[in-house]
Amino acid sequence: MGYDSSKSLRRIIVDLTPIRPGGESGGAKLLATELTRQFSRNVAPECEYILLTSSDTHEELAWLDAGNVWRVCVDGRQPEQPAGGLSPRAIVHRIGQTLENTLPRRIYGRIYRFYSGRIKSPQTRDLLQGLDADLIFCPFTAPLYRIPGVPFVIVVHDLLYQAYPQYFTEEERYHTDYYFRQACQVAARLICVSGYTRQMVLASSKLPPEKVITIPSTLINRLDMVEPELVKHILDEFGLQEDGYLLYPANFWQHKNHEALLAAFYMYLSRHPETNLKLVLTGAPGARMDTLRQNARQMGPAGRVIFPGFVSSHKLSALLQGCLALIFPSLYEGFGLPVLEAMSFGKAVLCSNLTSLPEVSESAAHLFDPLKPDEIAKAIERIQGDSDYRNELVARGRRRVNALPTPEAWAGAYFDVFRQVVRL
């Protein structure tokens, strides 16, 4: 099908309702907000952008407002699920999963759309009818709001629920899979944040390859360096010395693999009792952070593992500037932006060798098996004891960062997809 040059993009709906307050949404929140900012201010300021928000983040996102951007607060949250057993939506979806494996795609798609439409949507169906939008952009995968005849472009960050189903409840797995399957059905294009994620999407769907596009992330909303005096002040606040700690900036989700990192770090300390090296674990506070803090107290000397909680951008910048190296033992990443952030700050990176991380780091990081604490401990030993190797990783990291597209060029690649979709 050729392009219709009479069609153009005038108004775009961006669904930000899945965003959680503070740092709970991780890197997906950063991607969504930075794309919105780049679209409205640099890439296509002639267009209008309607941001759908939920009540708990509506005011937090006010910084995105502009003459061509406005927010509409809607109910973007899911209702409570019935106690004991699956919801009707999940039951229908479970049947759909079975059908998908046995029926041709054309027949399965018709049945899936028919029955999923019979389960009452938790969202308000009529909210968007008067907005006259040309495209709906879903940077959090779930196509929650629909307007007949208006195409979707949808971002897929990862398929973590498939790789590690044990980290999700049964209802969460079916809920997440339901929206992924819907995205596959309704999207004009799916945009994946890495080649690895694209491979996983194609392997777990019946989509034609041309419908699934890779736009690798870049350094977005780049952290600014802070003055040395402020770095010292913040390090003093946490009892740290420059080059005296490793930094792991990650929420305390299970796939971030903090338990193995703690085991490896205390293994390193036991082998090097003379060292003063510390480990700093930032992330949104919660029950898992409390559990990990208690585990650290029981595993070794007090005060060697620091839990600052969720830190502001200038504090994170200071912690990056002052660290010896970034350590990133995640079991699963759709992309892995902190790896590039550390490289941009001139820091060596110790990194997991799984999923997208070798693709993101290329040859600029020391890779290890995150399932083997002894291998992580040996990586710490080398980065702490071999300054020449550390400097070589820093130089490789700078070359890797210098080859990245600018945020405007990165957002422009997304917008090129938007234009293609509208003209299809």
Distance (Å, rounded) from C-alpha 421 to C-alpha 424?
Answer: 5
CA atoms within 13 A on the CB side of 191: 24
Q: Which long-range contacts (CB under 8 A, 24 or more apart) does 42-45 make?
A: 42/408, 42/411, 43/408, 43/411, 43/412, 43/415, 44/9, 44/415
Distance (Å, rounded) from C-alpha 53 to C-alpha 48?
Answer: 16
Q: Which residues contact 78 (CB under 8 A, 6 or more apart)?
A: 122, 175
Closest residue by Cα to residue 49 from 148, 140, 150, 133: 133
Distance (Å, rounded) from C-alpha 248 to C-alpha 322?
Answer: 13
What SS3 class is residue 373? helix
Q: Using one digit for the tens of pLDDT, what is the confidence trace for 372-417? A: 999 999 999 999 999 999 999 999 999 999 999 999 999 999 999 9
Closest residue by Cα to residue 407 from 79, 43, 106: 43
Each residue's pLDDT expressed in tens, for the chain with a length of 424 residues: 333 444 689 999 999 999 988 766 677 898 999 999 999 999 999 999 999 999 989 999 999 999 999 999 986 444 333 334 444 444 444 545 444 444 444 444 444 444 444 333 434 456 677 788 999 999 999 999 888 899 999 999 999 999 999 999 999 999 899 999 999 999 999 999 999 999 999 999 989 999 999 999 999 877 889 999 999 999 999 999 999 999 999 999 999 999 999 999 999 999 999 999 999 999 989 999 999 999 999 998 889 999 999 999 899 999 999 999 999 999 999 999 999 999 999 999 999 999 999 999 999 999 999 999 999 999 999 999 999 999 999 999 999 999 999 999 999 999 999 999 998 7
Distance (Å, rounded) from C-alpha 47 to C-alpha 129?
Answer: 19
Structural domains present in the chain:
11-218+406-423 (3.40.50.2000), 228-402 (3.40.50.2000)
Could you say which DSSP state residue 43 is in? I
Closest residue by Cα to residue 243 from 120, 387, 424, 355: 387
Tokens representing 187? 């999207």
Q: Which residues contact 160 (CB under 8 A, 6 or more apart)?
A: 167, 255, 332, 334
Q: Using one digit for the tens of pLDDT, what is the confidence trace for 88-133? A: 444 444 545 444 444 444 444 444 444 444 333 434 456 677 788 9
